[in-house]
Amino acid sequence: MSNSAIILISERDSTVRNRSQHNQQKQPDSSCNEKGLQSHNHKLELSAGMLRERSVVILLLGFMCLVRILVLISVQQLSSSSTGHFDTLRARKHLERITSVGPRTIGSPENEITTVNYLLDQIEQIRSESETGPHSITVDVQRPTGSFSINGFISYYDRVTNIAVKLQPKTSAQHFMLANCHFDSVANSPGASDDAVSCSVMLEVLHSLANLSTPLKHGVIFLFNGAEENNLQASHGFITQHPWAQQVRAFVNLEAAGVGGKELVFQTGPENPWLVQAYARAAVHPFASVVGQEIFQSGLIPSDTDFRIYRDFGNIPGIDLAFIENGYIYHTKYDTPERIPTDSIQRAGDNILSVLKHLVMSDELADSSQYRHGNMVFFDLLGMMVVVYTARVGTIINCTVAIATVICLCKKCVLYKCNLVYAVCVVIFSWLVTLVTVLIVALIVTLTGRSMFWYTHFYAAVCLYGSAAAGTIVLIHTLTKDIFYRSASRVYLAELFFDVSLLLWCFLLLILTMCGFCSAYVPMMMVVFPLISKLLLRKHFRARGCFRCLVSSSLAQDGVKGASLQYSVLYLTGLAVPYVHIMFLIWVVFEVFTPIQGRSGTGIPPDVVLALIVTLATVILSTYFLHVIYLSRSTKHILAGLGSVFTVMFVLVCCGLFFPYSADPSSPRPKRIFVQHTTRRFHALNGSLQSSDSGLCISSVDYTDMQHITPHIPQINDSIRWDCQDHLPYCGSSRKSWYLPAPEVSPEAPLEFRLLSRQETEWGTVKMTFEVKGPSLMSLRMRPQAGASLSSWSFGDKTPQFNLSGGYFISYSRGLDAPAWSFWFEIQPPKSSDASPDEGLISLAVSAHYFSGSDRHSEQLESLLKRFPAWVFPSSWISTYHMYRY
């Protein structure tokens, strides 16, 4: 072979080798492109049938705004036209006249003389006008004396005032409805809403019924009671002592926990479902909720009404109604007639008149025992109508819904396998983390001294705590989607978490039903409507092949429809009914509990309470929104938006931008405090004065204490806290008070306390009898020494009841011209080994409170009151404290 041939062959081999090496170098690039294409196709498969993030945000925000608007329209829709039977203008004149005398505390001339005379004059006018009609009116002024146990202490009353008016056909009646209101008020408040407006409404209802041309089938007793504010005393005197009480078969109680707005039926019964049915049929403007009843009767709301007295001591059923809006000015100087809209009076009058007229013409009132048993589920739909059915029917409905839900979910469990359990754990975990996160935020706000920033700026709390709660939920589900469900389709996850929400609501439905709660209708609605709407939308949200393809992520091959904008709108439309009702209940909770934090004491931080409520509301509203969240292609902007809102609000709150209180006349949010000019005297065992002091005692009613007041009155600080010794039965005020030294008080009617007799009984006890003279409101606390115990006394059922505070407490009130208060008790001495001769057997502390007349003022007290800023509402009075040992 020639050299040239060898060279050609070598060049060819070199070329082949170079091409081979070149092809080998290109091979990795081809593999990368193939993998990238597969990854891209996989992402397309996972995101098939999904919504743009912007669409999700617009849909959810628009839906929530629409729901909120519907609730606000319902709440603010008062009566705009009269039915022609109830005269609102006349009722308003009654209201203005009753409140014109100012505060009407028990035992004051304003309450016992002026108001009583006005009510009697108006009743006499009504009687004269209707004298020729088919009805007769009988008036009886009762002044009962008695005592009873309530909330762990004894309530004692002497000659308090009741005005009872019996309206009946001239042919007489055997069965009566009772309509109750109270005309007394707390100190320092004109009490327009609580409860002068109710008495004004009752006067006009009496006028309307008395002038009917057709005689009533049964009678009505209108009770205007003058002693409700001090432990529900006058109603107890009527129902346990008045001869007419035996003819009462049911009652309607008119109360207030706010100023104006709609009057809410917040409790009924016990049992007697016919009462709720009567309200549902007769009420012109219904507004009722069994949820409110179960919340109120749980004790979460620190309040009581005469309903409890008639229920517990009269054993009669009834309906309890109350104004609940604007509780910020409840029991303050701002509770004036002009703050109660005329339309509120009109709707209350229309409802009470219609319901009473219906009840006194019904057959059930004559033999209510026949219709006694059973509870009712009741709730109104945007104030348009009341849905009412028996608890037994409710149980059947709830169980049917639960069974149907379980059947629907069982069909999918085979496909879901363990994923359903994992998803339930994810949802519950997200709730727990959300709760902890928001509580941490609330505690930080509290520790930085910004507690109650939302009291005047409520939506600031929604923005801070709501954004924290919503952001935490969305973040956890975003991480779950990106980490644990990376290979699952988003449509599959949306379907999975919808079924998880359905399952959890179904579980709550079963729990509440088994526990006998009528409020179980709420989770029932949250199961029925979403389930039905989802079943109706199956054609808009499913794979053309089979559901299993969602699990295998073969969406692109099987042609999944997924979620369109039309589907999302229809899905949210299916949630409208339960969400409107849930939003209404959330509004009621906030409307009641937010103002309560301004008078709930200094124990639990109110920001923790409000944060819990906001978190609960967010969790409830988010349950079925998870379905839409998982259909979103991304949540980056949602998280960024929520995070930005939270960050901005947190900075603004911590910087002190939101001041808790306001003196704005159009919408005041006052800080409540108690101020009393008091003198304390401590007596030795031999009766001699051992020590005494006097000063101005200031007590905060909310959590912020004196934090915002001390810049205006620097003397108020922790160095002069009230000195209270644990072994004393009572110190004259709450233990967390501030004490400014001041001269002694000298009331015109000073307290007189005397030991009338002391004798040893044949069974080894010591019986002591005492007499007390003083103002119309007093309290007695007793603490036996170590080893001694009370065996009997003259109060209540004669059996002493030990108070949780470590002693015995008796609250006393009286009307005018009441005799001296006398009482006795028997005490069992301690064993000789436990006896301490220096301590005696028992310590007694008597506090006298001067809420009316010239004795309620002092120069030093008035001088201090002028120094408080305008946004403070100080409830002030004079008091004395005497401690004795025997």
Q: Which residues are catalytic?
A: 228
Measured CA to CA, the distance from residue 355 to residue 209 in angstroms comes to 12
Minimal CA–CA distance to 834: which of 784, 787, 783? 787
- Please write down the long-range contacts of 69-74, taking CB distance under 8 Å and 24 or more positions apart: 70/382, 70/580, 70/583, 71/382, 71/580, 71/583, 71/584, 71/587, 73/382, 74/382, 74/383, 74/584
Per the rule left: phi > 0, alpha: psi between -120 and 50, beta: everything else, 82 is beta
3-state SS record for 387-422: EEEEHHHHHHHHHHHHHHHHHHHHHHHHHHCCHHHH
Pairing of strands 821-828, 789-793: antiparallel
Which residues lie below 8 Å from residue 254, measured CB to CB, with a gap of 6+? 179, 180, 181, 195, 198, 201, 202, 263, 321, 322, 348, 352
CA distance 501 to 508: 11
Question: How many CA atoms lie less than 13 Å away from 592 in the CB half-sphere?
Answer: 25
Residue pair 294/519 in contact (Cβ under 8 Å)? The answer is yes
Pairing of strands 145-150, 153-158: antiparallel
239 contacts 172 by C-beta, under 8 angstroms: no
690 φ, ψ (degrees, to nearest 5): -90, -45
Alpha carbon of 763 to those of 516, 662, 840: distances in Å?
49, 62, 19
One-letter identity of residue 781: R
Q: How many residues does the chain have?
A: 886
Beta-carbon contacts of residue 456 (< 8 Å; ≥ 6 apart) = 658, 659, 660, 661, 662, 669
Q: What is the rounded distance in angstroms from the CA atom of residue 394 to the CA atom of residue 442?
A: 38
DSSP 670: P
315: its two tokens = 């054993």
Residues 6 or more apart whose Cβ sits within 8 Å of residue 742: 677, 694, 695, 696, 860
Cα–Cα nearest to 733, from 725, 724, 741: 724
Q: Which residues contact 449 (CB under 8 A, 6 or more apart)?
A: 707
Compute how many other C-beta atoms are within 10 angstroms of the C-beta atom of residue 177: 24
Alpha helix (H) residue ranges in 132-232: 197-210
For 269, left (φ over 0), alpha (ψ -120 to 50), or beta? left
Burial of 220 from C-beta contacts in 10 A (0-12 / 13-18 / 19+) = buried
- List the beta bridge partners of residue 147: 156
Rounded to an integer, what distance in angstroms lies between the CA atom of residue 140 and that of residue 24?
Answer: 113
Compute φ and ψ for 714, nearest 5 degrees. -60, -20
Distance of CA 371 to the CA centre of its chain: 30
Q: Where are the alpha helices (DSSP H) in 692-821?
A: none
Are residues 393 and 513 in contact, defined by beta-carbon separation less than 8 angstroms? no
What is the four-CA torsion angle of 61, 64, 68, 71, rounded to 10 degrees? Answer: 160
377 forms beta bridges with: 389
